Amino acid sequence: MTVFLDGPRMPPKRGGKPDSLVIFLHGYGSNGADLISLAPYWADQLPGTAFVSPNAIEPVPMAPGGYQWFPISSLDPHLMEHGVKSAAQSVDRFIDRELERYGLTPDRLALVGFSQGTMMALHVGLRREKQIAGIIGFSGVLVGAQSLKAQMRSKPPVLLIHGDRDPTIPIPALFDSAEALSAADHGAQWHISYGVPHSIGPDGLELGGEFLAMYLKTKGLLSGA
């Protein structure tokens, strides 16, 4: 079943039609308002970029204002793989609709996920036929590693960032994800945020901005025009 998604937006800092798009995918029990708060930190580096942070597919029971991409009670790999597959179509449709809204091609899009949103960003972004500009995954894990090589349809740049004090998704998930990407004949840049729990530290925020600026800058900017 495909669910219509929407959420908070921030237009390009310079105004006018955007030349690129960043879609945030939030974590379990959170909402779009959480990650859209990152946009102002990156707006100076990406003045032509529009940002959007949709609420996930369904509300979390007993968590007012919280949403989930899929129900999760543990890090069981089979349950998580079933979950990302069930939510993927809604995310893909949202991406298609947003690209059409702004008249952008997939290579002008980056996905930024946190925790459960990272699971979604990696699953969807690596299986889209037309390659997107890049994927940033904070504090998450690659789900469905065994099937990735057979299902991967494009190889966008990937940056994985994880706190070494994360009690929710412990730091080994970072290395497991990087190794799984390598085994699927892809790869990832990765960074450990020391002293950071299940959140985004200042160093991760800075590296994320640099990554997005590298892959979303227009040709004119790259050539000095």
CATH code, 115: 3.40.50.1820
DSSP state of 167: S
pLDDT for the residue numbered 215: 97
Residues 6+ apart with CB under 8 A from 177: 122, 137, 140, 141, 142, 145, 160, 188
The count of structural domains within the chain is: 1
Domain assignment of residue 104, given as a range: 9-70+79-222
Q: Is residue 188 part of a domain?
A: yes
Q: Is residue 3 part of a domain?
A: no
Fill in the amino acid letter for 79.
L
Asked if residues 75 and 89 have their Cβ atoms less than 8 Å apart, the reply is no
Closest to 121 in 3D by CA, of 132, 129, 133, 112: 112
pLDDT for the residue numbered 24: 98
Integer CA distances (angstroms), 187 to 135, 148, 155, 210, in order: 12, 12, 9, 18
pLDDT for the residue numbered 1: 63
From first to last of its 225 residues, the chain has per-residue pLDDT tens of 678 999 999 999 999 999 999 999 999 999 999 999 999 999 999 999 999 999 999 999 888 999 999 998 777 888 889 999 999 999 999 999 999 999 999 999 999 999 999 999 999 999 999 999 999 999 999 999 999 999 999 999 999 999 999 999 999 999 999 999 999 999 999 999 999 999 999 999 999 999 999 999 865 444 343
Please report how the helices 116-125 and 77-102 are oriented relative to each other, as an axis angle in degrees rounded to 10.
70
Q: Is residue 191 part of a domain?
A: yes
Q: What's the sign of the alpha-carbon dihedral 69, 74, 75, 80?
A: negative
Q: Is residue 149 part of a domain?
A: yes
Asked if residues 167 and 197 have their Cβ atoms less than 8 Å apart, the reply is yes
Q: Is residue 116 part of a domain?
A: yes
Q: Is residue 108 part of a domain?
A: yes
Residues, the chain, total? 225
Q: Is residue 1 part of a domain?
A: no
Closest to 77 in 3D by CA, of 165, 142, 170: 142
